[in-house]
Each structure stands twice: as C-alpha cells, then as structure tokens.
Amino acid sequence: MKLYELVGRDKNIGFSPFVWRVKLALAHKDLNYETVPLHFTEIKDALSFANASTVPVLVDGNNIISDSWEIVCYLEEAYPDRPCIFSDHHAAKLFNFQIGMPLLAPLFRTIVSDIYSVIHDMDKDYFRTSREARIGCTLEEAAKDYEQSFSTFKANLVPYSQFFRREQYMGGAGPGYQDHALYAMFLWARATSDKKLLEDDDPLTAWILRMDKACNGIGGKLKKIE
C-alpha cells in the first residue's frame, strides 16, 4: 500500500492536513503502508496515473483512490475487520464542511507565511503565486496582519473547547473520523509553524495530548520542519 503525500524541505515530514486524515485512518485500522513524498511542483506529473492534481492518493493493490474522504471511506469498506473509523458516516461527512471555512481557511491565512518558510526552494515561486492569489494579498502582508485571521480561527474553536470540557473524543469512547480531521489541522500547524494556537488550560490542549497518544502515537511523533 502506498500513500502519496506533500513534503517541504524535509522529505521525512509530511504536512498536508488532508494526508494526515488518511495517515490517522490507516493507523486507526493498524494498516501498513509506505509513503511517497512529493513537493508541490512534483504533484501534477507524479499523480497523472491517478488523474489527480492534489494529495493524498492511495494505491492499494489495483485500487487507486484520491481525495482524503474517499480514501477513508475506501479503507472502511475494504477492511471491515479492522477497527471502525466512523461512529456516524453522515455526521462525519458533514464535519468536513463544518471545519472548512470556519477553521481551515483562517488557519491557512494565519500560517501561510510559515508554510512558505519550510517548503523546498523549488516550490517557492509556485506557492507564492498560487497562494497569494488565494488569500488576496502578499505573503508578507499575511504575515504582518495574521492576528485578524487568527482571532477568527480561535473564535470558531470555542464550541470545540466547550465540547471537550465534558467529552474525551468526538468519536465516543475513542477517537473517530471527526477527531482525526480536527487533529490533522493542528498537525498541519505543528509541522509548519511556531505559532501557539491554544492556551495551556484550553480543553482542546488536553484533547490534543490524548490524540498524540492515539493511533499508535503517530501524530505525537511529528516535529516541525526545520
């Protein structure tokens, strides 16, 4: 089984939040796989066999699956004898939309300049051109004015902080897909940025520490790209 993922200067550290959703699902299922590291500008050619322009892509025998959600669904169906990822399939699918604009978008703007600092030099021009068009300003302007997007991100985290005051995981007794998806977002930041996203006494901080130990501790081993 091969998983194609996005890397920066260090080919051993993948940072895509969508790839991390799949990595956590694979660990949840206790499935063995190898990673194929790709830089931004390598993705188009490397994934032409899958008709994909983004990671992740999973190759499992003769099966080629792209898109993190589709991959997780495939793993759930192909390996039903392994631990279940979804406590509620429809609620999990809805969660993908619930964290997109409210959390992923403001976090991206908050750390976009940090991501730029850890990617390979071969990707710098592509990243600057494509991401500045996306955020509507230069990377330097985003770095200077990140507090507004960071405030939006923190405000939109409040319901999760409130939830984890009483609950251990969104998946019930243990982590499930929603936990993986939310945690993957923090791993994205952990690998690329030095910004402190949460206060020490935030219930989300305790949840992240629990998630660091879950899924064979795969997320807890992640270090920032240097």
Which ranges in 88-200 belong to alpha helices (H)? 89-99, 105-118, 124-135, 139-144, 146-163, 177-192
List, in order of start, the domains of the chain with CATH numbers.
Answer: 2-78 (3.40.30.10), 89-217 (1.20.1050.10)
For 199-216, write each residue's pLDDT tens digit: 999 999 999 999 999 999
Please tell me the predicted confidence (pLDDT) of residue 185: 98
Q: Is the pTM of this model over 0.85?
A: yes
Cβ atoms of 74 and 58 within 8 Å: the answer is: yes
CA distance 72 to 195: 29
Give the torsion sign (CA, 85, 102, 37, 143). Answer: negative
Mean pLDDT of 164-189: 97
Closest CA to 65 of 97, 40, 83, 55: 55
Confidence of residue 102 (pLDDT cuts 50, 70, 90): very high
